[in-house]
């Protein structure tokens, strides 16, 4: 495991808090805008994108196909990888 910043750890914990571990549903996917809304601090979109890219590079997050939202707008959605689930679900309790 690489040294994560506190903000990257908060993003991972956000995904873990969104998941139901009994089934592999689409409830664990989030767009950048949803991540920004749910974080306890208010980062810029660019800061979140930077953190997501770093987490993706380490194999903790993946992009999924775009999710079509209202008014035809498409958003890139992110989800935890299986290896990240195994690694982080054994760790401390989740609090976002």
Q: Which domain holds residue 69?
A: 6-89
Q: What is the pLDDT at residue 2? A: 64
Split at pLDDT 50, 70, 90, the class of 21 is: very low
pLDDT at residue number 26: 52
Q: Looking at the 3D structure of the chain, how many domains does it have?
A: 1
Residue 1 in any domain: the answer is no
For 28, 30, 81, the CA distances from 64, given in Å and listed in that order, are: 11, 10, 11
- What pLDDT score was predicted for residue 77? 86
pTM, rounded to two decimals:
0.76
Helix ranges, the chain (H): 6-18, 32-38, 45-57, 82-89
Asked, for residue 43, whether it belongs to a domain, the answer is yes
Q: Helices 45-57 and 6-18 meet at what angle, rounded to 10?
A: 80
Q: What is the CATH number of the domain that holds 39?
A: 1.10.10.10
Average pLDDT, the chain: 80
> Higher model confidence: residue 94 or residue 61?
61
């Amino acid at each position: 495991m690489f040294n994560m910043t506190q903000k990257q750890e908060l993003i991972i914990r956000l995904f873990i808090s969104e998941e139901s571990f009994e089934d592999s549903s689409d409830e664990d996917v989030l767009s950048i805008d949803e991540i920004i809304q749910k974080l306890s601090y208010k980062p810029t979109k660019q800061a979140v994108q930077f953190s997501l890219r770093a987490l993706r590079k380490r194999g903790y997050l993946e992009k999924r196909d775009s999710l079509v939202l209202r008014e035809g707008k498409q958003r890139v959605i992110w989800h935890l990888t299986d290896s990240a689930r195994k690694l982080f679900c054994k760790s401390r309790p989740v609090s976002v």
